[in-house]
Amino acid sequence: MDRATASKLASELVSQMTLEEKAAQLRYQAPAIPRLGIPAYNWWNEALHGVARAGTATVFPQAIGVAATFDDALVQQIADTIATEARAKYNMQAAHGDRDIYKGLTMWSPNVNIFRDPRWGRGQETYGEDPYLTARLGVAFVKGLQGEGATLKTAACAKHYAVHSGPEAVRHSFDAVVNQKDLRETYLPAFEALVKEAGVESVMGAYNRVNGEPACGSKTLLRDILRGEWGFAGHVVSDCWAIKDFHEHHHVTDTAPESAALALENGCDLNCGEVYLQLLAAYQEGRVTEAQITTACERLMTTRYLLGTLGEGSEYDAIPYDDNDTDAHAALSQQVAEKSMVLLKNDGVLPLNLSKLGSVGVIGPNSDSVPALEGNYNGTSSRYVTFLEGIRTACAGKARVFYSQGCHLFRDRTSNLAMADDRLAEAVAVAERCDVSILCLGLDATLEGEEGDTGNEYSSGDKKGLELPPSQRKLLDAVVAVGKPVVVVLAVGSAMVITQGNAIVQAWYPGQAGGTALANLLFGNICPSGRLPVTYYRSTEDLPPFEDYAMRNRTYRYYEGEALYPFGYGLSYTRYAYSGARFENGAVHVTVENLGGWDADEVVQVYLKDHDSPFAVRNHSLCAMKRVHLAKGERAVVTLPIREDAFASVDDAGRHVYAGKRYTLWVGGSQPDARSVALLGQAPLAMDITR
């Protein structure tokens, strides 16, 4: 069904509703209207990295880990799988009369905010710091969720629109002040791509204000840009209880009816919260018109027709519950985890040779932790494999595995000090008697995440800094001091500062198969191929204040220092050679050869620098990428199309201009900064072009 047909049907249906019925449909807990054959519907569902919060489902790596694959085709496959499970669960639940929260087909994902500061707890939900990478993966995710059928498989949602990336503690009252250049150059491109290229069905507003306007009631964002400039035809939903913030925290209105009117007037169709209970009061006070309520209701009914939940149904109604949590979906989750893990450091200790190991120590608070696999906004897997379990399975019959928790994940001043080091001696004893120690450290969603979800010293969900908690730093020092090989595995959703250990693996929150994927990487069954979607800074002292939304000295495009580990960086067990690079017919063509002894994936990256435009970014920008599998000794010519808008820059008024003539394109396995070259031992090939 096309949108025009769905819109016509929606208009006819809404014309039969009373004002009260229309207003009631604008709440996320939409009641049934039996006389019109409209069933109850709860709009709130989540699908960030698997169907979330509603029982059993395949749990994929957290979004930031998915971003580390740099693989848009894989991301679309992930999202298509999630949509299949969402339909399987919805069909089963609807058949049993269960229409509760997290049971619908409107999936409030993906999160395409820019991870501008590594302290932001919800950065794990994003695709990283780069607008191009975020846009390409976001477009793929939306296409996978929505499908290519006659009806939508599920409805995707681009969130949180816009200029939203912490701090969590003050998000309900915070005003994100941003200039027009940064707005159009960094914060909006991914949203625009999801609207124009992917046809995303819904957009969710953010909690904060943007330049004084609350995002969920912003004329600038919702009316002028989203619908006016971009032609968005779907529906807008508020973040949950965000409209209440208008009068309680932002103080741009005085009463709930005023807040409801402001949001509705500027195009917020659906309220996740309770303020739209006041719509009839706002109508009686003359603040909203029936026509405005009708328009919002028609948009929502259009989405329900497009999903096939009203009218004649959907081809996806036939998906059985058996298609949830399948072996094939589990295999895909493992594949994604393997492609997401980033090898940050390796002095040669990896891969581990099991034939030469008598004993392996697995140490650390994230060794046997399910939350370290999950991240936030997760479902419940039926087949978790922790790091300890994956390593033990790999070592079965070959090497003895010793385990020690080592320390608690986190200890603050209110904890029992006598318990602080209660596992430290055991950890040292394990490290002393083992040939190698695999030290599993990091965080989980109780230490970095969303405001209101945490109960620790960070309380808001954001990190105070970039170091491990004190208990883990003490454990790391003690295990390294033993003097035997140490492999550090970090389960985190953000950048951390860590340099100790013979090898460091960034595992993210790797999903249900994280332990199997990690073991395959450690013992050489796969070759590491993940790349960093964020910059790893040396200290928060290198960064502007967290509350400052200006992009100067943030992310690899503007950073003025030397990164600990650069954006786009990741080591491998094999080596690649690049040759014959040329720019021709709007694309970069380059020959890539696998020189090592491993069949492996290489992530080919292209970066662009505009040498002339006074509005160009300080450094360079990612403008193309492609993951390529090469057998050992194999070479291939890789073609990477460069979008025309890559050559534009954004002026101070926020306009895209073509002010440059001389450009450099670099192609290689990393970005072209000195630190990337020093760490990887190779420089990307440079092509100077004139346009």
Question: What residues are labeled active site?
Answer: 239, 448
| Edge-to-edge strands, sheet with 635-641 | 576-584, 587-594, 635-641
Q: Are 626 and 640 in contact (CB under 8 A)?
A: yes
Report the amino acid identity of residue 524: G
Phi/psi zone of residue 241: left (φ > 0), alpha (ψ -120 to 50 degrees), beta?
Answer: left
Write the DSSP string, 111-176.
B-----STT-GGGGGS--S-HHHHHHHHHHHHHHHH-SSSS-SSB-EEEEESS----GGGTTT-EE
Q: Are 125 and 376 in contact (CB under 8 A)?
A: yes
How far apart CA 222 and CA 513 sit, in angstroms, is 40
- What torsion, rounded to 10 degrees, do the Cα atoms 623, 599, 579, 585 define? -40
Q: Are 397 and 358 in contact (CB under 8 A)?
A: no
- 40: tokens are 């109850």
Q: Are 512 and 385 in contact (CB under 8 A)?
A: yes
How far apart CA 361 and CA 364 sit, in angstroms, is 10
Report the amino acid identity of residue 372: A
CA 360 to chain centre: 33
Peptide bond into 160 cis (omega under 30): yes
Q: Where are the beta strands (DSSP E) in 483-620?
A: 486-491, 503-506, 576-584, 587-594, 600-610
Provide the pairing of β-strand 436-442 with 359-363.
parallel
Write the DSSP string, 208-221.
SEETTEEGGG-III
372 to 385, 422, 491, 529: CA distances (angstroms): 11, 21, 6, 21
- 463: tokens are 């990190």
Write the DSSP string, 169-205.
GGTTT-EE---HHHIIIIISHHHHHHHHTT--SEEEE
- Using alpha carbons, select from 133, 145, 139, 206 the residue that is nearest to residue 176: 206
* Residue owning tokens 């950073």: 559
Is residue 421 classed exposed, middle or buried when 0-12, 13-18 and 19+ CB atoms within 10 A define those classes? middle
- 655: tokens are 């306009």
Report the amino acid identity of residue 509: Y
Q: Show contacts of 241-244: CB within 8 Å, 24+ apart.
A: 241/272, 241/273, 241/274, 242/172, 242/205, 242/206, 242/207, 242/214, 242/215, 242/216, 242/272, 242/273, 243/216, 243/217, 243/268, 243/271, 243/273, 243/275, 243/276, 244/273, 244/274, 244/275
| Strand, helix or coil for residue 646 | helix
- 50: tokens are 């698997």
